[in-house]
């Protein structure tokens, strides 16, 4: 084996942001923007990492911290005892890490897949997900549902519940549009902010999460039956609940309402934790003029793939 190549799709949240952490269902999609990872075995115990975020050099027996590569190095730490020797790792991306397409989750899934393959371990999707989720929780102090990991690993459109774990493949989506607010707040930071709001009115927030769960259940039915008009309405409902949660800011609202002015757009909502990041629209209108960056995406049927050379 001279090298291992891994390809992982990015992801977007369709429904279930925040409430998935409180026992409700989430819907997510893999998208056709990919992370590429190439692992080349070395005879020494040296570790070399080439990434747009940072360059890294260490050894298996003396791993050094590099905050810009926190997910990558957490994956190495998790599997280091099973690796036969050192390696070089090249990570490249078809999209910027500043854009909300689940780049951290995709990189984590890809590195876990490459290292598992190198160690001769299982590369079954369920086991890759278990390992990748451990990495995410390690880096994010136990926070994170793993929804974006599910989409990147399994591909297509998926329904996911954390506990008891349930992963279900759904039918594809019609044309979608994605707009970037120009900035994003890290998910753990957003969660801490919402936790502060919730502490003051826990009963109110508990009911908001329940409503989010109800809307997500209805959205899953709409996707399964191809009822796109109803899905659009439910996306609008969920956006209202994200606003009630306190994570829809001025830029997000501007994008949402600009999209809703078009008859070709059936619904629009935040995709992700909020306070920046992206707005997902059901449908597309090439004649619509919005002063925010549009990111061309489509649903990817393929999840993580591994090639041996």
Task: Give residue 160's Cα distance to chain centre.
Answer: 13
pLDDT score at 100 = 67
Cα–Cα distance for residue pair 282/298, rounded to 1 Å = 11
Which segments of the chain have a pLDDT < 50? none
Q: Is residue 37 left, alpha or beta, with left meaning phi > 0 and alpha meaning psi from -120 to 50? A: beta
Tokens standing for 56?
């890294």
Does the domain at residues 4-172+300-308 carry the CATH identifier 3.30.230.10? yes
Domain spans of the chain, in order of start: 4-172+300-308, 176-294
Matching fold, domains 4-172+300-308 and 176-294: no
Domain covering 176-294 in this structure, CATH number: 3.30.70.890
* Phi, psi torsion values for 210, nearest 5 degrees: -65, -40
Q: Which of 219, 220, 217 is nearest to 236 (CA)?
A: 219
């Amino acid at each position: 084996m001279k090298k291992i190549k891994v390809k992982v799709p990015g992801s977007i949240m369709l429904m279930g942001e925040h409430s998935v952490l409180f026992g409700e269902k989430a819907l997510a999609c893999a998208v056709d923007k990919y992370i590429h990872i190439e692992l080349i075995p070395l005879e020494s115990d040296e570790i070399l990492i080439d990434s747009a975020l940072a360059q890294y050099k260490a050894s298996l027996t003396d791993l050094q911290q590099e905050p810009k590569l926190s997910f990558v190095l957490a994956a190495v730490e998790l599997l280091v005892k099973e690796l036969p020797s050192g390696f070089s790792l090249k990570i490249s991306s078809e999209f910027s890490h500043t854009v909300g397409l689940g780049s951290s989750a995709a990189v984590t899934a890809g590195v876990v897949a490459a290292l598992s393959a190198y160690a001769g371990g299982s590369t079954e999707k369920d086991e890759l997900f278990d390992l990748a989720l451990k990495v995410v929780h390690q880096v994010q102090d136990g926070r994170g549902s793993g929804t974006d990991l599910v989409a990147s690993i399994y591909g297509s459109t998926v329904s996911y519940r954390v506990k008891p774990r349930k992963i279900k493949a759904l039918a594809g989506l019609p044309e979608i549009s994605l707009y970037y607010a120009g900035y994003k707040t890290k998910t753990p930071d957003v969660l801490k902010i919402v936790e502060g709001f919730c502490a003051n009115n826990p009963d109110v927030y508990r009911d908001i999460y329940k409503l989010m769960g109800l809307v997500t259940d209805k959205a899953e039915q709409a996707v399964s039956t191809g009822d796109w008009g109803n899905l659009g309405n439910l996306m609008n409902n969920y956006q209202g609940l994200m606003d009630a949660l306190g994570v829809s800011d001025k830029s997000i609202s501007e994008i949402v309402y600009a999209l809703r002015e078009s008859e070709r757009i059936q619904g629009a909502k935040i995709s992700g934790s909020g306070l920046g990041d992206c707005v997902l629209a059901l449908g597309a209108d090439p004649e619509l003029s919005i002063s925010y960056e549009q990111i061309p995406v489509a649903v990817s049927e393929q999840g993580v793939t591994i090639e041996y050379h």
